[in-house]
A and B are shown apart, each in its own frame.
Chain A
Amino acid sequence: MLKFLRKNGPGYLFLVPWFIGFIALALGPILVSLYLAFTKYDIFSPPEWIGLENFEFMFLYDDRFLNSLQVTFTFVFLSVPGKLVFALIVAMVLDKGIRGIGFYRALFYLPSILGGSIAVAILWRQLFDYDGIVNAVLAKVGIQGPYWLNDPDYALYTLIILAMWQFGSPMLIFLAGLRSISPELYEAAEMDGTSKFKQFYAITIPLLAPVIFFNLVLQMIDAFKTFSSAFVISGGSGAPVDSLNFITLYLYNEAFTFFRMGYASALAWVLLVIIAIFTGIAFYSSRYWVYYENERD
């Protein structure tokens, strides 16, 4: 026993804070959340077990939920690829030894670091106001801009643009990835007479695949979790006409505006499962397109 403690004791001691946090703030809540997902619970009276009813209602009758799914998916599928392509292009331009790279890199990253702030969400609202700067620029070239924030057909695009504006983090990761590709490979390709374009898709892309994959997973998970900007830009409600009603926002309002904690928990689990499925797909598919340089057993 004494020996066991001497060997393991220090490890356990250092883990105490994390372990308490893990039980109280992660594992416990996950189990409780799973339980609540099958109940009707309004905080004021004890939870009432209703089996699958929450999920039945959600998928069969709740048009707001189905709409929120559509909003969330549209957002993820448009913003993530856009952001990654843009990030890769800029990273490649920056990679090829250019003066002032530190300056550009910093400026490109700045929006990402501010992106989560309410100030930027407020700013965005004003930029895309009907009388805002975006429409003013469009007017200059003779286009009459829409009511971005009040037109359900356009509102989501303001958020997609906001997301793409924050391409800094994947760009930095791409940059690190590009740096790690040995220049000798390009020199060898050059000597074989490989064209620049072919170098891009025969060397850069395959060798960058792990980084692309990493960015893809990270950005996708992040995009599914978008909340604050949607909250502020839509005024907290998902307006106009629920066109900004992301699952996260819907969930928040169900829980903290209407106190439907059971239903909100069920929504949270749907979100979890969606993220898990997409991460799973990404991981599963990665074996077909991601090549790891130092593949180990």
Chain B
Amino acid sequence: MHKEAAIREPLILGHKTYHDITEDVCRPIEDKAPRMWYILFGIALIIGLYGVGCILYLLGTGVGVWGLNKTVGWAWDITNFVWWVGIGHAGTLISAVLLLFRQKWRMAINRSAEAMTIFAVFMAGLFPLIHMGRLWLGYWVLPLPNQFGSLWVNFNSPLLWDVFAISTYLSVSLVFWYIGLIPDFATIRDRAKKPIAKKMYTILSFGWSGRAKHWNRFELVSLVLAGLATPLVFSVHSIVSFDFATSVIPGWHTTIFPPYFVAGAVFSGFAMVQTLMLVMRKAMGLEAYIHTKHVEYMNIVIMVTGSIVGTAYITELFISWYSGVEYEAYAFINRATGPYWWAYWMMMTCNVISPQLMWFRRLRRSLLFTFIISIVVNIGMWFERYVIIVTSIHRDYLPSSWSMHYPSHIDIGVYVGTIGLFFVFFLLFARFFPVLALNEVKTILKSSGESYKNAPDDHHPAPTQVANADQKQNQTGNSSDLIAKVGSADASTKDDLKKLSGVGPAFEKALNAIGIWSFEQISKMSKQEYDMMDGLTGKFPGKAEREDWAAQAKELMNANNK
């Protein structure tokens, strides 16, 4: 068993058992949905349906309903596309990159972050599709034989690379996510009482039974998929940035784009994860699994990627001057001081300044502050794409054709609609799917759970058990002294001693062996009895006193009587 340094904060708070984890995650699925869920779902659904209406109107009428003009031929559609793809980067980064780096804190958040990713990429994929105008001819992006036209699709074009990158990313993330979900669906299946739920989860869980060989394959598949998904994450947003970087528009054709876009994507993705996770942990009572430490880790990622993005902005500015190309220089001067100055400074404030506040430990551990910053960052990242796209083209080479971009209500409706649809999907996910990777969280309980971390020797019970057997014979006389003080008990009045902090199954057996069975006995203990007990069990001297078992036992007795 992998051991963790004691100074590391535990990842699972409280004294959870394996069963507690199952309970905590499954309860929100099995209980009736709270009223708040219905209200939020209703709002999201209405907004989403409005967006669908706008899309249908667009498809029926034509792309002309967008506020584009001859000069600004690309605006909200591609902005929203890049924004959503960017948000969709955190999930796979968390589950793949952090898996390769063996970061255990990922386990509490990877499932929902990846769900978030998949839904965000759905939303992103909508924009190129509706941008085609004639959606029903969308299959023309596939390499089809020539009777569909005189040419193949152009494999030199970054737009076609995008088709391959996004579809690969979406389908691979989906498979990765689903393979992890199967064992958890099996858990829900085995607990389900209602026949319909049982049936549904039986289908979803693919007949998973948890055989040793299956787990062996499961672990390898997860690892290999993580290995494949890691370069995939980086490639996807690099390719998205090629849409701009391979063009000859000043402000777009910069070689810094791929790393800068990838960092920006991770930055906005983690911000979205924070927004969702802070609400979800509260609403679903998962504070023991997703706590301040997780939030802090994510804030550090936001700080680092935000700093990369900030560096990239400043590098861009410097290079536009250093290149000596006046068109390039003008593109950037125009961004900062032209008619879109407000968008530029909005982007600068939200993306460069706000993550720097995370250097303060108090701020990055504050949940309210994190929530606000996470929304600020996503607003900033939307403006980043808007600034890059619109301000670079609205004043082109010919001043007579300079113009501004004003979004039409369809532009706005489609964008807001995708936000609604995204939350429809996410709320459905939170209602019917296990939002925490049950099987993964259970694997870290012993190395990173609070109650186990404090008892580092409790991991391998068998050898100590043998030792106890010897001790027991030598010390039966002594243990009767202890029993005389605290009162006798036997297996019939047995309490679950594992509920005391620092007691695992093996320690419980050791206690039983010396005649300690119930909370009542422990509640009567004080310094002297503790010392006797420590001598008898030969384990963790001083632990019971430090943790004040007597008080704990009294509380547990009260809880039992209720």
Is the pairing of A and B real? no
